[in-house]
Structure formats: structure tokens, C-alpha cells
Structure 1
Amino acid sequence: MSTLPTLATCGDPATVRIELYTPGSLDACAYTCAAHTVRASAAVAQAGLAAHVTGMAPDMKRSCGDVFVYPTGALGGAPADLTHPHWCNRDDCERRGRHRSRILRSDTNRPEAFIVGVALVQALHPAAEPTVRLTSVEGGAETSLVLSVGQSRVLRYRLANLLDMARAGRNGGRWA
């Protein structure tokens, strides 16, 4: 895990935002004046982080040397007893015995026979891999199917092909 580097501080108004990344995660933003941007970017790279220099929103007021660390990132100091993947909604993981993303519902805004939801889940064991949980509810009965991320990726492509075939029919482009 990388640590946050010490950046030069002059206190002048910041004109540049530097996004600090570890693999797969935006962890912090550092703010600098134009004079300290190159030095700050070099310090970030030496600390093992990726730096992406970008402009600042006109209404944002920061001083050169200010740093904001995102609590959900690798630098945020998550508790050692339970670290969460970046997609975890952090709601009651201990009780459930697994991490779970927010459940995404497939709402068509029309009456359907089933209510369908999908979420990422992962056991709390450090070596556990995330899986995709597809849940359907009809009345009071719930059925779940757990797929590996690889199976889910292939299913995504198969569904796209089937939907393309359904659209290509002689139905005037309308869903049958």
C-alpha cells in the first residue's frame, strides 16, 4: 500500500488539482499552485501513486498544498478488521458475512411477472473473489443465482446478441 507523500505548501490559491490513484482506485486529490505542480507530481510518482493533473472547478477554493483523502480509497485508513472493496455499500457486512454492492433493479416501468435485482457480493475472507448475484422475486418467493464475474461477462454479451436479434425483426423496430 502506498503512503501519501509530503507536498510543498506555499498557501497561495491553488489553480491545479492532482488526482492520486492506486490501481483501480481514486484515493486522494492534491491542490497546488502552478509553481508547485511539477514538484508535487514527481513526489506523488515517487510514492508509488499515479498522478493525473487536471484543472479546478471555478467555484472551488483551495490553497496550495491542501490534500483531500477519500475515506473509501486505499489511503483512507479503513479499519484493519474489515476492509471493504470500493464497490461495497458498507451496510451490515459483518452480520451478512459478505460484502454487497448496492442492489440494481431492472425496472421497465411496466408490470412484469418478476422483480429482478443484481448485485456484486464477496465473502469476507481475504482470498474470496467477487461474484454476481442475480435475484428474482415473484410474490413472496425469492430465487437467487450466483455467477462468477467471468460467467457474468459472457452472459452480458449473450444478452446483447439476443436483444439485437429481437430488435432486428419485422416488428417495425418495436419490442415484441
Structure 2
Amino acid sequence: MSTLPTPPACREPATVRIELYTADSLDACAYTCTAHTIHVTAVVAKTGMDAHPVGMAPDVDRPCGYVHVFPTGTLATEPVDPSHPRWCDRDDCQRRGQHRSRARHLDTNRPETFIVDVALVQALHPAAEPVVDLTSVEGAAAASLVLSIGQARVLRYRLAHLLDMAKASRNSGRWA
């Protein structure tokens, strides 16, 4: 899959962001109005990509049909530097001694005791495998947990199962 399908562009305000994935990366986000979400999801699925509709943040303003292609995804038009993995932030790898993705902040839009970030990390050695680095910060103290890709995958499923069991629901402005 190297060609992104062209979504309908009715130019109405988008209400849905559709994350477009290939087997190994988040490649793009398509923004659609409610009327075009099913159509775009179906067209994307026919190209061999996975489409995951998600809500839009209230401060994001995009027209239906707008597509953002991530420069590190498999749809990127720029040539890939073979010395870096696609997900590498490419900022000062030599000094750090490792490739590192941008840290993804786990933001719940409410005060939390810990600040948590997650990133992919890989030593510069050619045979090194990437790992997932979870970092939590509370005040001046920080702790890091490094998981293999296999452990992170299993953790993803375990967390999804636990969240399904919890059946989170809104209750007076708090998750119960």
C-alpha cells in the first residue's frame, strides 16, 4: 500500500478523525464529517490499511476531506534515512546513543498524581530491538519501566480487558 485514497471533500466542518494504519505504523489521519465517516473507513479498508475513527479534540478545526500524512509513516513522500527507524524523532540520536520516538503524553484532561509519557527506544546497534519506555514523573522524582515489544503488546490487551471489565461511566463529572 503506497497510495492514500482521496476522501470526499464536502468542506463541512469535520467531526471525526480517522487514524490510518498499515501493519507497522500510524501513517495518516483523515478528517471527515459524520456523513462521510463510513464511506472513508470502507475505502481505506479496501486499500489494505486499518481505519480507526476517533473523536476530535474540541480545539481542532479541520474541513471534511482534510488528510494529514505523517512524515515518518509508510505513506511519506520524503526518502527515508535507512540509518533511522521510521518512528525515530531524528533529534540528537548520536548524543543519546539511541533512537527515540517522540514521547506520547498520557493526558486525561484532568489533574493526575503522576505525569506519564511513553516512547519507543532502540539502541544504535544494528541488531538492537526497539523497546517501549514508560516514564512517570511526580515532582522531582522520575521512574522508568522498559518493556519489550511483546510485553507491551500483551499489556495493551490486558489493559483493554481490565477497562472493559471496569465499564467506566460518567458520574457527576468523574469517571466511576
TM-score by length of 1: 0.54
Which residue, out of 83, 95, 99, partners 1:101?
99
Task: Answer yes or no: is 1:120 the counterpart of 2:118.
Answer: no
Contact 2:84 2:90 in 1 (8 A): yes
Structure 2 match to 1:55 = 55
Residue type of the alignment partner of 2:65: G
Encode CA deviations 1:38-88: one digit per residue, 9 max, x unaligned. 110011111111000011011110000000011011111241563731343
- CA distance, structure 2, for counterparts of residue 100 and residue 21 of structure 1: 25
The 1:23–1:58 alpha-carbon spacing in structure 2 relative to 1, beyond 3 Å, is: same
Structure 2 match to 1:45 = 45
Residue type of the alignment partner of 1:48: G
Task: Answer yes or no: is 1:70 the counterpart of 2:73.
Answer: no
- CA distance, structure 1, for counterparts of residue 83 and residue 53 of structure 2: 28
- CA distance, structure 2, for counterparts of residue 67 and residue 83 of structure 1: 28
- CA distance, structure 1, for counterparts of residue 88 and residue 81 of structure 2: 15
The 1:101–1:60 alpha-carbon spacing in structure 2 relative to 1, beyond 3 Å, is: same
Task: Answer yes or no: is 1:36 the counterpart of 2:39.
Answer: no
- CA distance, structure 2, for counterparts of residue 70 and residue 38 of structure 1: 22
Question: Unmatched 5+ residue regions in structure 1?
Answer: 104-117, 124-128, 133-148, 155-176
Q: Give 3-state SS (helix, strand or coil) of 1:44's partner.
A: helix
Residue type of the alignment partner of 1:53: P
- CA distance, structure 2, for counterparts of residue 8 and residue 26 of structure 1: 21
Q: Give 3-state SS (helix, strand or coil) of 2:59's partner.
A: coil
Aligned length: 114
1:25, distance to aligned residue in structure 2 (A): 1.0
- CA distance, structure 1, for counterparts of residue 44 and residue 150 of structure 2: 34
1:6, distance to aligned residue in structure 2 (A): 1.2
Q: Give 3-state SS (helix, strand or coil) of 2:40's partner.
A: helix
1:119, distance to aligned residue in structure 2 (A): 4.4
The RMSD of aligned alpha carbons is 3.3
Structure 1 match to 2:169 = none
Structure 2 match to 1:130 = 128
Contact 1:12 1:33 in 2 (8 A): yes
Contact 1:121 1:131 in 2 (8 A): no
Contact 1:2 1:48 in 2 (8 A): no
- CA distance, structure 2, for counterparts of residue 83 and residue 43 of structure 1: 34
% identical aligned pairs? 54
Contact 1:89 1:100 in 2 (8 A): no
Q: Give 3-state SS (helix, strand or coil) of 2:38's partner.
A: helix
1:23, distance to aligned residue in structure 2 (A): 1.3
